[in-house]
Chains A and B, each alone.
Chain A
């Protein structure tokens, strides 16, 4: 699977990053970030771009302090976080058992695979208008969209992990008298844990996107609501502060899941 292949590559990279010693690639990356900030700061001053649209790093920094102190920031962040957490938790609770069922039962897979794949390939965001109509403009519709967005990557990767289980290992376990439950707990589950975590990591990004787009579409509060407000008001500096909060949140969560993934994948041959 393409997703699994990506995670394998990622593993190598972050392993290199763990022994802390700024190598060539790190230095180049940091340099590029520094150059970006300098250019961003200079461009409006030199008249290369219109500062009204691009803002400046210093302005964004000032806006950040302002937002945190005087903008009900924590109120909006808490709402978005609640929507995300609820939707994501629901996705975890549903997707892993569903993936286990589909990965271990051929009949179930034949039955549910086509509609599942259709939903996975189609952007779940197209369902947003329906969700708003049926669940209202409050938190419920955002929880639902996070749930739907996060569900499929986990289901698909859990199926992959389950069905990739080595039949030779299952046979060896059976030769020692392993029960079906033993095979599941001792072989299928540990064997597919890295895949499941890969699915969870991919789901984080999609879940964050879900909550923000949901709030942008229609809402009364939340980070996406604030993004919309400051976008319409042309307050690019404040808009960027909220955008930054979203990306830092998604990034940190992804990195933590990846760290967990690497921990459980040490046995995987490179």
Chain B
């Protein structure tokens, strides 16, 4: 049974300071099975973050439906947690306080909050930094806190919006490996937005390629690589083939974009 079922989804945006409405994404249909890791790739402006935030219940749906485990999404819920691109940590709270924050907001009743938060902090490897404030941490560490905060509420679905987008290449690679290690632990259904093709293939069971104007799904590519995966997989012929296919898709989208800019 599909965990996340998106049917003919359309989301409208109103331009700031005007009444002009345009579709950010339109007519999107997608099924994600329970325990599946799905990445969404596409050039900037293709609505991939919008799609993710609509599953989170943070964006108003104009047309179509999203259901999770059969229940329609009408707002944020305890079955989902979001890892944002910007760590979005409360600067006046410590690492521990920030990981506790999601639990507090959800009125967590599954045992001691601090204990729960600490075990998540250990999971992301920040046990020594529990008393630190966000401004004392590096970008990669802040994202670890961001991930720990989302995992702490034990969601069925983990939604990640370019969580490593602002990190340098090495940190990014390490974080990808870490994320996979954590995910292998309990295989939550995961939706992961990125513009990094290698990252998408490395992490996913399925890569969704999106195009622009309005945002739509161009293709869904199943990634048939064995798990657990390590960095060595990046040099295998299958991986290279996936990379080639995805690049071709994105290149076509970029070419279309240039054409439109010249026409304008």
Binding site for B on A (CB under 8 A): 166, 168-169, 171-178, 182, 186-187, 190-191, 264, 266-269
Contact = CB atoms under 8 A, between A and B. Distances in A.
Interface of B: 56-58, 76-78, 80-82, 84, 86, 88, 90-93, 101-102, 104-106, 133-135, 153
Given A168-B84, A168-B86, A267-B135, A175 B91 contact: no
Mostly, the B contact residues are loop
B135 A175 contact: no
B106 A267 contact: no
B105 A182 contact: yes
A264 B153 CA distance: 28
13 contacts: A166-B88, A171-B58, A175-B82, A176-B105, A177-B106, A187-B90, A190-B90, A264-B92, A267-B93, A267-B134, A268-B135, A269-B91, A269-B135
A17 B91 CA distance: 25
Given A175-B56, A175-B76, A267-B133, A191 B92 contact: yes
Given A177-B76, A267-B133, A269-B135, A172 B84 contact: yes
A171 B88 contact: yes
Contacts, number: 58
Contacts of A177: 76-78, 105-106
Contacts of A187: 90
Given A175-B82, A177-B76, A177-B77, A267 B56 contact: no
Contacts of B88: 166, 168-169, 171-172
B161 to A, nearest CB: 10
Mostly, the A contact residues are helix
Contact of A267 (B57, B92, B104): B92
A264 B93 CA distance: 11
Nearest to B103: A176
Contacts of A178: 105
A268 B58 contact: no
A264 B80 CA distance: 33
Contacts of A267: 91-93, 133-135
